[in-house]
Structure 1
Amino acid sequence: MDDAYSVQTTAADNSDQDGLETLMALKDADTFLVADHWGDVKSGADGLFDRDTRLLSHFVLTVGRCRPSRLSSGVTEDNVFFTCHSTNRPLPPMGGRSAPAGVLHLERRRFLWDKRLFERVRMVNHGIEDILLPLSFEFAADFADIFQVRGTMRAARGEIHAPVMDGRRVSFSYTGLDQVLRTSCLAFSEPPARLSANRAEFMFSLPKGKKLDLYIECGLDACDAPDQARWRWNSIQARLAMRRRMRRGASVQAARNPRVNDWLRQSRTDVALLTTDLPTGPYPYAGVPWFSTPFGRDGIITAWQMLWIDPSLAKGVLTYLAARQATEVNAFMDSAPGKIMHETRGGEMSALGEVPFGLYYGGVDTTCLFIALAGAYARRTNDMETIRALWPHLIAAAGWMSDYGDSNGDGLIDYARAAETGLSNQGWKDSEDSIFDSDGCFPQGPVALLEVQGYAFAAWKALADIGARLGDDRAIQWRARAEAVRVLVEDRFWMEDQNFYAVALDGNGRQMRAIGSNAGHLLFSGLPSPERARLVTRRMLTAEFRSGWGLRTLAKGQARFNPMSYHNGSVWPHDTAMAAAGMARYGERQAVSMLLGEVFGAAAHFQLRLPELFCGFVRETGEPPIAYPVACLPQAWAAGSVFLMLQAVLGVSINAAEGLVEVSNPAMPTGLHQMSILDLEVGDSAIDLTFQRLNNHVVVMPRERRGTVSLRVTG
């Protein structure tokens, strides 16, 4: 097996990077939990949250007033259960001899379901004597808004009411400044020996060789006493729900390479974990902990990454976003008629308008991406019933592109935030310092980002394709708009002296000449000429961009380059994947194969769960990639990246209207010899494909067909 696929397994299994060690996440619908590896909720981003409000801000288990010694912990393969195994330190004397260390096994096992945390603490006495076991929990509920937890200061808060104790329950409540009463309840299956507003103390008599279970629940509302039956029933429901999400779409498998299969499985389960089944269909929330909510851009890109194997995500995303399309001009929300949502939040600060993100539209690219994804979905599924239902929303989105997205009438989509409370940069690189000139100076608005013009190009083409199918006479005009955008971008963004595209134009039409990964997204849209695409690809594959773990967001040596920054030199897996897919669009397969191997190498060091981003330091022999300390983990479009890159390297495209799967010039990374795509649905039909390396070539063979789907291989 090649080194690219045997990356220091021991290091991957035993890594203990601080930025990741503190984060163990569970999620169900709008509820998520972040705790440390003991299962304790202690500080920072930790806590049990529902709809952006923290219901449990402190929850720490001790045995004999000491934290137990952790043996191991982790989340199950299906992302449903967290389990921590630990043992006792020496217990204090209780009327006799002290129990020595290491005789008590504690298993702390938990899951989330139906807006509630379920936990079981199992205690087993492996000693030679009976034990008096002092077990306690410290707890608190601060009802902090997610933006408070992230560090946003508030001038005032509402009223936290005194907790109410009731035998084996503690009820917490808070009346916000929005006059909404928010509550949570912590309940135990056994009555504590002592129960106060912030502590529950138990004294268990545990005979030698015996076990004892304590059940705990915490949720929005009070419940009956936790017990084994409730635990079992709800755990089954949680696991079945995850299985249903996991079974959507085709499966991808690598033969004789369990490590790669583990990565594929982890990525698929992470997408499933973050996906919430809403009334409009499944929607991948962006990431835990900071972005566990629907985001427009993130949802669209994740759905696009998964489109070839699971189109249901795209349908759910398009339908949800259409239902929240803007209908008015509102500076605080940064909205205008036809614009597609950037973000929605459910906490107190959003409800009060302290932050604009209750329903916020400050993303310049989301509306174009919405139309482009609809076009890709139509081609992939031939689901014209859904497309017809979306058609008025697609027309309204195109209206925004024409009437509001181009503020100065130069034919390019641009942005300038409408209110000081909004985002200053409104592309995917939305940090304040992410867009600048070659000398590091920031542009004056409105700003026209390079990649957004590519999305607009793809949107006009998609609208033309759909319009032609629906018999809309405007299809010719939309196709002409796409070509006009292409000509403008080639004329105004191309830097002949750099053989590369400028990252943006400022409000005066002046090039922002920084060299960034934005050009990779332009390749993804298919806008550049083949000659310029080759030049961009060649430069992006140099050491300026390649870290050895993926592509940097900013070329090394540029002004403001910092491998530890959020957007100015770090590596984002989804960014690398989109650039790789863009390269593959122009026939470059081997480079994509190489990048896929590098990203796998990074994943191997992150326990096969790619974070939102990591630092862009150069890869050194024997050293792991360096974590970005507050990256979301898991993150939807990071998890989806492997599937977009696989589609790109295998050269797979699907045209459901023709019942056709086309494979063009397939390749596979070194070290992989066979891959299978099982149950790839095309309309009402399905096909199984096997990709096999033979000498220096990769061939594809259909293994099983159901229905009339056909396979065409080119190149």
Structure 2
Amino acid sequence: MDDRISNDEADPVPEFYIPATTSLAELEPRTLKHGDSFAVFDHYGDVLRSDRSPQGLFHRDTRYLSRLEVLIDGKRPLLLSSTVDDENVLMSVDLTNPDRFDGRQIDLSRDSIHLLRSKFLWMGHSYERFAFRNFDTKAHEMTVEIRFAADFADLFEARGQRRAKRGRSHQPVVGAGRVVLAYDGLDNEKRVTTVRFDPEPEFLTGTAARFRIALAPGQRNVVLMAVTCAAQPAHAFSGERYFFRLRQARRAVRAAKRRTASVTTANALLNEALERAQADLAMLMTDTDEGPYPYAGIPWFSTMFGRDAIITAHMMLWADPTVARGVLMALAARQATAEDPLRDAEPGKILHETRGGEMANLREVPFGLYYGGVDSTPLFVMLAGAYFERTLDLPTIRALWPHIEAAVTWIDAYGDRDGDGFVEYGRRTEEGLANQGWKDSHDSIFHADGTLAQAPIALCEVQGYVYAAKRAAARLARAMDMGPRADALDDQAAELAFAFNQAFWCDDIGTYALALDGQKRPCRVRSSNAGHTLFSGIADPHKAAQVVATLMSGDSFSGWGIRTIPQGESRYNPMSYHNGSIWPHDNGLIALGLARYGFKEPVLRLFGGLFDASLYMELRRLPELFCGFSRRPGKGPTLYPVACAPQAWASATLFALLQASLGIAFDPAGGEIRFDNPRLPLFLDAVQLSGVSLGPACADVSFCRHGAQVAVSVIKRTGNLRIITVI
């Protein structure tokens, strides 16, 4: 998603590279999110590392809390356990007191006092409850100190960028049970953090609150804390208010999950991975004026991304089409209408990314509204076509049609820079991303000898997206009785497919070239990008088997998944961001492509590899990516140091793998849900899909594996709906 670099000394350090002096795995983060706020805590629930670190409470790309530490009698408590609940709402930390000495004697033995920290985010607030209980037979008193600070760092500062100038921080304002911290940004926006306590502390400064906790044997005592990313009225809040907000947060997540078809299986570990994926998607889902929108990932990408949201919505489409509608409407509302080289914007282009922090407002980074993605625009049209095929929602398509036409016009007028029929990219500002496909590291597009390709660059998968977009636009035009327009779009798609298979196919490597460079020379490099040509349908059916064989070879398939770049290529590095790593979403799209061309066995291998990888991941959560080292007996996959987790399209991957395995398809005109050659991997004997909807009708369907065959049974059906199994 960003311009990361290799270790080549000759390569300049890109401006938006994310330094990795520490690993996110080492930090052991606990993440929470609601709306435009997210928080990253350590296992204690504290924030102790803020310099070049994602720890803290962030709201709209600004850190509103950069320090949080709890001490008992001046020492850090002992950690017992730490987790985020299955709904991703509440973080719970069990702590106990360390040994306390009076001279050489212990006057408070460890494990006497239990401290339960419980925290959640809601509507720009972080709410926390500290519950103390004395399990000793004697009464005890102790001093509890809560330290806090707000540096109001921009997210890009937290990622490691240095700024020549910053705004002005105000002196803390201390009141009755509350502290106000404020910062005047250079963008003339005042940002305020309010820290409130109930009960009032015995001692309160601009950086710490101190409580004297006295506990009789068995007695409990509670302290509440709220951190707010905006100015708040002076009144305190109470335990009743804490639990009311917690109930609201839980209800919101459950409402989001109810929209999605549920999946239960005979494999308890897969159920855990699926439940976490669904909870992650519900947490990352953000309500916009246009509908639900999945933010890309935590910590670095908790905002609107075009490509990520479109792919997430596509993989979730069979289970929850409302996400696709929300994404389409939100991106249409932000579609570029004029040229702006500083934002890589051109009329009709679909958003790559948007940011709301001080640096974006000042254009110190170009991402306030940034359009430097070559694939978001055709993917937008693809999703519109897929959404219509899933729902027959013609009123929404009519509302979107001017935006679809503008996107297709962008493809022809701006995307095809030299009129050769292929869509190329080249940034229009030196501040933008050098590479603008999904592999946007500066070194991700190269020739067989390792030489970096020079722009304008035509990526193989982008041509497939354009092909699928033209076909989708043709179907939509035909649905609105625009026959001549539909015929023209179909003709353009056919011409592109023919030209693509002529220009990109490389017999010597058994797959499609990664890209064409600015001189139209093919980058004769094997890559996972070629698998996306199966997803889009542009691959010649006679060449598909060779593409699959290359993707599933030992050089490419690690045992955990398909590598972005296989072993043997000049820039292969299993620890790189895009040149040898494994991305779950990449594999999910390839699986959908494999199923499209009838290659079910490789789908099951991918499903098995990624499921096995999830068993080694904390909370069974598939991360943004992991390293591409080959699978070895008794050893799990190697983590990538700055991978986001949760990440929306990684979480949605399990939905794509299920769709590819079971062959889930819809015919709303015929009132049918179809399962095309359903198969299940060996680790999975039975699956039940509940609440799969088609308009007002829905069904619960079970699948039971008998050897290589799968029996399909309808458990429950409401409305006029047929279930068809195609063998």
Interval of TM-score (by shorter of Structure 1 and Structure 2): over 0.9
Whole-angstrom distance in 2 between the partners of 1:382 and 1:141: 49
1:212 and 2:221 matched? yes
Partner of 1:450: 460
Deviation, 1:226, is: 2.8
SS at match of 1:212: strand
Q: Distance in 1 between matches of 2:64 and 2:440?
A: 29
8 Å Cα contact 1:297/1:365 also seen in 2? yes
Q: Which residue of 1 aligns with 2:679?
A: 667
Kept in 2, the 8 Å contact 1:286–1:293? The answer is yes
Shift of 1:238: 0.5
- Tell whether the 8 Å contact from 1:414 to 1:448 is kept in structure 2 after alignment: yes
Greater CA drift, 658-667 or 566-575:
658-667
CA 1:370–1:520 in 2, change beyond 3 Å: closer, same or farther?
same
Residue matched to 1:368: 378
Secondary structure of 2:156's aligned partner: helix
Q: C-alpha displacement at 1:291, in angstroms?
A: 0.3
Matched, 1:119 2:132: no
1:344 aligned to 2:375?
no
SS state of the match for residue 277, structure 1?
Answer: strand
**Could you report, residue by residue, the CA deviation over 1:364-387 in whole angstroms, capped at 9, with x for unpaired residues?**
000000000000000001111111
Map of 2:162 onto structure 1: 153
Is the CA contact 1:64–1:92 (under 8 Å) kept in the aligned structure 2? no
- Of residues 473, 477, 481, the one that matches 1:467 is 477
Structure 2 residue aligned with 1:434, among 444, 455, 463? 444
Matches within 5 A, 1:79-158: 79-93=88-102, 98-158=107-167
Question: Alpha-carbon deviation of 1:96?
Answer: 10
**2:178 aligned partner:** 169
Matches within 5 A, 1:220-235: 220-223=230-233, 224-235=235-246
2:608 alignment partner in structure 1: 597
Q: Could you tell me which of 517, 521, 525 is aligned with 1:506?
A: 517
Give the equivalent residue in structure 2 for 1:632. Answer: 644
Structural mapping, 1:374-393, within 5 Å: 374-393=384-403
* Aligned twin of 1:5: none
TM-score scaled by length of structure 1: 0.96
Aligned position for 1:686? 698
Task: Give, in whole Å, the separation in 1 of the partners of 2:120 and 2:688.
Answer: 33
Structure 1 stretch displaced more, 184-193 or 65-74 = 184-193
Q: Does 1:51 align with 2:60?
A: yes
1:327 match: secondary structure: coil
The residue number in structure 2 matching 1:246 is: 257
Gaps of 5+ in 2: 1-22
Deviation at 1:179, TM superposition (A): 1.2
By how many angstroms is 1:95 displaced? 14
Deviations 1:58-104 (A, max 9, x none): 00111111111111110000000000001110135499972111101
Report what 2:31 is aligned to.
Answer: 25
Which position in structure 2 is the counterpart of 1:565?
A: 576
Secondary structure of the residue aligned to 2:415 is coil
| Sequence identity (%) | 44
Spell out, residue by residue over 1:406-461, the C-alpha distance to the aligned partner (whole angstroms, 9 max, x if none).
00000011100000000000000011111111111111210000100010010000
Q: 2:7 maps to which residue?
A: none
In the alignment, structure 1 residue 276 sits paired with structure 2 residue 286: yes
Contact 1:175 1:182 in 2 (8 A): yes
- C-alpha distance in 2, partners of 1:133/1:475? 76
Cα-to-partner distance string for 1:244-287 (whole Å, 9 max, x where unaligned) = 01111311111x32111111111111111100111100000000
2:490 counterpart of 1:479: yes
Range with bigger deviation, 703-712 or 315-324: 703-712
Distance in 1 of aligned mates of 2:642 and 2:445: 21
- Contact 1:94–1:132 (CA<8 Å) still a contact in 2? no
Q: 1:96 to 1:591 in 2, by over 3 A?
A: closer
Q: Kindly state the Cα deviation for residue 21 of structure 1 after the two structures are TM-superposed.
A: 5.1
CA contact (8 A) 1:249 1:681 kept: no
Q: C-alpha displacement at 1:542, in angstroms?
A: 1.1
Check whether the contact 1:303–1:313 (CA below 8 A) recurs between aligned residues.
yes
1 CA distance for matches of 2:354 and 2:683? 43
Alpha-carbon distance in structure 1 between the residues aligned to 2:707 and 2:447? 47
1:462-519 residue CA offsets vs partner (Å, 9 max, x unmatched): 0001111111121000001111111111000100111111100011110011211001
Cα offset, 1:704, TM superposition: 2.2
Aligned with 1:45: secondary structure?
coil
* Equivalence for 2:205: 196
Q: Provide the C-alpha distance between the structure 2 equivalents of 1:696 and 1:57, rounded to a whole number of angstroms.
A: 54
Deviation at 1:694, TM superposition (A): 2.3
Q: Distance in 2 between matches of 1:63 and 1:624?
A: 38
Please list, as runs of the form range in 1=range in 2, the aligned pairs for 1:413-432 lying within 5 A after superposition: 413-432=423-442
Contact 2:679 2:708 in 1 (8 A): no
- 1:187: which partner in 2? 196
Offset, 1:676:
1.1
CA contact (8 A) 1:333 1:357 kept: yes
Residue type matched to 1:496 in 2? D
Q: Give the Cα separation in 1 of the matches to 2:150 and 2:405.
A: 46
Q: Deviations over 1:333-361 (max 9, x none)?
A: 10000000000010000001111100000
Task: State whether structure 2 residue 295 is matched by structure 1 residue 285.
Answer: yes
Amino acid at match of 1:532: K
How far apart, CA to CA, are the structure 2 residues paired with 1:427 and 1:227? 49
Mark the CA change 1:439 to 1:230 in structure 2 (over 3 Å): closer, same or farther: same
Match of 2:628 among 606, 610, 616: 616
> Is 1:258 matched with 2:257?
no
Local SS of the residue matching 1:240? helix
Offset, 1:234: 0.5
RMSD: 1.4
Pairwise CA distance, 1:189? 0.5
Which residue number corresponds to residue 72 of structure 1?
Answer: 81
Please report how far the alpha carbon of residue 168 of structure 1 lies from its aligned counterpart in structure 2 after TM superposition: 1.5
Q: 2:537 aligns with which of 526, 529, 535?
A: 526
Whether the 8 Å CA contact 2:509–2:524 is kept in 1: the answer is no
Distance 2:383 2:191 in 1: 38
Match of 1:705 in 2: 717
Structure-1 residue corresponding to 2:657: 645
Please report how far the alpha carbon of residue 561 of structure 1 lies from its aligned counterpart in structure 2 after TM superposition.
0.7
Q: Match of 1:497?
A: 508
Are residues 95 and 130 of structure 1, via their aligned partners in 2, closer, same or farther at CA, if it must alter by over 3 Å? farther
Distance in structure 1 (CA, Å) of the matches to 2:71 and 2:629:
40
CA contact 2:622–2:650 (8 Å) conserved in 1: yes
Task: Tell me the matched-pair count.
Answer: 698
Residue 40, structure 1, aligned to residue 46, structure 2 = yes
Aligned-partner Cα distance in 2 for 1:295–1:18: 22
Q: Once the 2 structures are TM-superposed, how far is the Cα of residue 156 of structure 1 from its aligned partner?
A: 0.4
Which residue type is aligned with residue 157 of structure 1? R
Q: CA deviation at 1:210?
A: 0.3
Give the residue type in structure 1 aligned to 2:86.
E
Supply the AA of the counterpart residue of 1:306.
Answer: M
**Whole-angstrom distance in 2 between the partners of 1:20 and 1:320:** 36
3-state SS, counterpart of residue 508 of structure 2: coil
Deviation at 1:663, TM superposition (A): 1.3
Conserved? CA contact 1:171–1:222, under 8 Å: no
1:19 partner letter = A
Could you tell me how far apart the structure 2 residues matched to 1:174 and 1:194 are? 24
